[in-house]
Amino acid sequence: MHVFWKNVYRIINYRGINLKTLAALSDVPYSTITNGKNKGEGQPSVGTAYKIASALNEPIESLMRDAVQSKSGRILEVKNSLPKNDAARYRRYEHIIDALEKLPVNTRESITDLILTVASDGETNSDAEVKKTSEKRIYRVRH
């Protein structure tokens, strides 16, 4: 079975999603999804992979990677790459980061903007950053 399909099945099993639900959410034929599992067909088309990744709210790159990183492995990488206080901060907020990653992109951006707005109360440098982010969102909505 191709690594893409292994990752898809790992995710849907973890989340308790059945194949028919995934087919409906992704607008991919049920037979395509079952063939990926049963026949071990190769890599799906880009369109199919994109639809499934979007339905699962996962980056397509993560579905194409062979290595599955455990949380402890991720923390170890962070410990080795960040100063000590940043690694501790990451561990403290890791569950929030994981929860944000599960949200749709638009919702995640809205929550991030809210946090930046509240955190920037009275700071001129951050206000400019929040304004820039808001302008980007307005541009995306209009175009």
Q: How far apart are CA 5 and CA 1, in angstroms?
A: 7
pLDDT in tens, 119-131: 777 454 445 555 5
Q: How far apart are CA 24 and CA 124, in angstroms?
A: 47
Q: How many CA atoms lie within 13 A of 95 on its CB side?
A: 1
CA-based nearest residue to 4, from 57, 55, 50, 66: 66
Q: What angle do CA 91, 67, 30 make, to 5 degrees?
A: 110
What DSSP string describes 18-30?
-HHHHHHHHT--H
pTM of the model: 0.46
State which amino acid sits at residue 72: S
pLDDT in tens, 26-38: 888 888 888 776 6
Residue 19 has pLDDT above 60, yes or no: yes
Q: How far apart are CA 37 and CA 52, in angstroms?
A: 14
pLDDT in tens, 39-82: 666 777 888 888 888 888 888 877 777 654 444 445 445 445 55
